[in-house]
């Protein structure tokens, strides 16, 4: 498992993907931070955090699109699947690698908060709550991305489909404004990533949301394992 993790981390930086991801992440995050706080004379990070969610919709697929699809295309998955490694181990290694890169970027981006702290009184709890929420959303998104990547051997298809699914997860809450049927609204709000994120933005530590994000992650990782398991039985 550690072997796959290490290889995965390396492959981010032997291909342009890792560099593109880090560069775009930090650039957009920096621009958003400047625009929402420094330039608009505000010490509230709420806007920054909620915009970042939309950035993830574009960036996370970049990170996950080739995880499994490339292995399938180049047939290297045959090496992994015939090596003494369990399927959950293989999926976990890929997940942790993507999460490592993602989390490091967000932590580096968070250094910008110190600039703000020089000029304004920041509520530390709110910031940590928001960062934690971002991480959780990132985890869930990565799990979705890995799942889609395991479905196809075409990277581009994986990326586009992931963007679509993530947008749906994010925007499904908005649709509720136009729907009168109670049970549909209930289901939509259950699925909505956005609704749950709002609480963190107000500095409320929402245990239900924590479980929501963790279970979305777990479900999609489990489905990824199942896809591989099922493919053996074709």
- 80, 85, 88, 142, 198 from 77: Cα distances, Å: 5, 12, 14, 20, 40
Residues near another protein, by CB under 8 A: 2-4, 6-7, 10-11, 14-15, 74-86, 232-234
Nearer to another protein among residue 84 and residue 118 (C-beta)? 84
Q: CB 86 → another protein: shortest distance, Å? A: 7
**Minimum Å distance from CB 219 to another protein?**
24
CB of 151 to another protein, least distance (A): 19
Judged by beta carbon, residue 8 or residue 188, the one nearer another protein is 8
Separation CA 103–CA 106 (nearest Å): 5
* 28-30-33-38 Cα dihedral, nearest 10 degrees: -130
Of the two residues 71 and 224, which places its CB atom closer to another protein in the complex? 71
- Closest contact distance (angstroms) between CB of 64 and another protein is 17
Structure tokens at 3: 């072997």
* Identity of the residue, 13 or 119, whose beta carbon is nearer to another protein in the bound complex: 13
Q: What angle do CA 101, 162, 94 make, to 5 degrees?
A: 35
């Amino acid at each position: 498992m550690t072997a796959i993790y290490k290889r995965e981390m390396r492959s981010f930086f032997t291909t342009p993907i890792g560099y593109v991801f880090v560069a775009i992440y930090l650039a957009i995050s920096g621009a958003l931070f400047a625009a929402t706080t420094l330039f608009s004379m505000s010490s509230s990070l709420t806007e920054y955090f909620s915009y970042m969610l939309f950035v993830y919709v574009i960036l996370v697929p970049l990170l996950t699109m080739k995880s499994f699809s490339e292995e399938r295309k180049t047939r290297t998955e045959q090496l992994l699947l015939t090596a003494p490694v369990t399927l959950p181990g293989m999926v976990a290694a890929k997940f942790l690698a993507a999460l490592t890169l993602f989390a490091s970027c967000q932590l580096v981006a968070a250094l910008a908060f110190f600039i703000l702290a020089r000029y304004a009184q920041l509520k530390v709890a709110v910031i940590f709550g928001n960062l934690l929420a971002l991480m959780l959303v990132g985890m869930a998104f990565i799990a979705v991305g890995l799942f889609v990547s395991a479905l196809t051997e075409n990277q581009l298809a994986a990326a586009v489909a992931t963007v679509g699914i993530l947008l749906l997860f994010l925007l499904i809450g908005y649709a509720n404004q136009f729907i009168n049927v109670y049970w549909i609204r209930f289901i939509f709000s259950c699925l909505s990533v956005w609704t749950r994120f709002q609480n963190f933005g107000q500095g409320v530590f929402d245990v239900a949301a924590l479980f929501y994000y963790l279970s979305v992650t777990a479900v999609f990782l489990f489905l990824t394992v199942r896809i591989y398991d099922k493919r053996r039985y074709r």
